[in-house]
Structure 1
Amino acid sequence: MKTSFYNVNAESFYNDTVAVDLSPLYDLFLPLLAPSGHIIDAGCGSGRDSLYFLQHGFAVSAFDASERLVEKASALTGLDVELNTFEHFRTEKLADGIWACASLLHVASNALPAAFTNLSKNLKDGGYLYCSFKYGNDDVERGGRYFTNADESRLTMFIKHTRLHMVKTWITADARPDRQDEKWLNAILVKGNRNEP
């Protein structure tokens, strides 16, 4: 995962994303979790979502792979945001939910199964993981950034050898006003064996 883009462009990225309203996504994810449950904000970027979760009574752990965004998210939220990656992050307190909004798409497609496997190790049995990808089935590099796109079948392949299973997928337009034409795959996954109720 390349972080140089986000270190160089941290200020503009922060300003472009920190005020984006994702209430419709929060409203689908948060009711699945226990009140005041523990959420890991995986690839937290500006810290926008972590701040929202804190304001709504959740315990939050957050990490990002960009040093500059770790600094900015820490300042915004008051959290000790950790500099780490999807493949290596570990917590002693397993999460009720993991939030990976528009973040896993920057992991190379051949590394995504390992990223999902590691994230699932940080999630309680019966816990939920939200993730989103630009809709498609290819890998692209644009403007100095790498994107792994995903549709439903590609996401299924990424999680095939984990204990994560799809609960729900849906398509949305980009929440930023200037990018309404971009489509996103949203997914809620649950951790558990296939034969579990």
Structure 2
Amino acid sequence: MTDRETIEVYNAHAADYAAMTQSEARDKQLVAFIARVPPKGAVLDLGCGPGHSAEEMARHGLTAHAMDPSPEMVRRATSRPGVIARQGSFDDLTEENLYDGIWANFSLLHAPRADMPRHLAAIFRALRDNGTFHIGLKCGTGCARDRLGRFYTYYQEDELLGLLQGAGFTILKINRGRGKGLEGSVSDWITVASHA
């Protein structure tokens, strides 16, 4: 994500976002993700926000790396026990064959649609053989800014699955739901667990 306005919203609302996402550490999908990673495996929380999920990964004995373009979010993630956090955009994921799992929970939805195939290819390269990948996005069509000014790209299920399979991923599980975001609106969402 390189959209300056979106990054500035997260910098300005970091405390509110951290409070709203605190329960993510108990998310059933995160529990399942951790279970798919080998003991002491290396994981990346891509678009980590305040680092709740990365901290939970570290608490389970994983080597938890985290990356986010917002300096304020990185500051918060760095303060969490066991989390190795750095500032960077999706294009800064250049590692190859390094991670046993990559968790991109409602972060890649801030990337332009045209960039998604490139980002998924980079994630695939960064994963070891059979590495696990989790992605969460909001459902819909087109792209728009929310009331806070954050840029979003929305996806239909078929489009997302096609992109994942086109990048080489094997689909494991699909979850769907509905929830309220930081700016108060309720959206349908989809998450997909897959492996390289």
Shorter chain as denominator, the TM-score bin is 0.7 to 0.9
Unaligned runs of 5+ in 1: 192-197
Q: Deviations over 1:128-179 (max 9, x none)?
A: 1001011223212112101112222121343354222322212023387x97
Matched residue, 1:24: 28
RMSD: 2.4
Q: Find the aligned partners of 1:22 and 1:94 in 2 and give their Cα distance.
A: 26
Q: Find the aligned partners of 1:22 and 1:149 in 2 and give their Cα distance.
A: 26
Pairing 1:77-88 to 2, within 5 Å after superposition: 77-88=81-92
Matched residue, 1:51: 55
Q: Deviations over 1:25-51 (max 9, x none)?
A: 123222222122111111100100011
**Superposed displacement of residue 181, structure 1:** 4.7
Are 1:87 and 1:119, in contact at CA under 8 Å, matched by a contact in 2? no
The amino acid across from 1:68 in the alignment is E
The amino acid across from 2:172 in the alignment is V
Further displaced range: 24-33 or 113-122: 24-33
Matched residue, 1:11: 15
Q: Find the aligned partners of 1:151 and 1:179 in 2 and give their Cα distance.
A: 22
Are 1:47 and 1:77, in contact at CA under 8 Å, matched by a contact in 2? no
Matched residue, 1:167: 172
Pairing 1:1-197 to 2, within 5 Å after superposition: 1=1, 2=3, 3-20=7-24, 22-91=26-95, 94-142=98-146, 143-174=148-179, 181-191=186-196
Are 1:173 and 1:180, in contact at CA under 8 Å, matched by a contact in 2? no
The amino acid across from 1:48 in the alignment is H
What TM-score do you get using the length of structure 1 for normalisation?
Answer: 0.86
* 56 and 133 in structure 1: CA distance in 2 versus 1, 3 angstrom threshold: same
The 3-state SS of whatever aligns with 1:132 is: strand
Report the number of matched residues. 191
**Superposed displacement of residue 80, structure 1:** 3.4
What TM-score do you get using the length of structure 2 for normalisation?
Answer: 0.86
Unaligned runs of 5+ in 2: none
The 3-state SS of whatever aligns with 1:188 is: strand
Are 1:42 and 1:100, in contact at CA under 8 Å, matched by a contact in 2? yes
The 3-state SS of whatever aligns with 1:34 is: coil
* 22 and 133 in structure 1: CA distance in 2 versus 1, 3 angstrom threshold: farther
Identity, % of aligned positions: 24
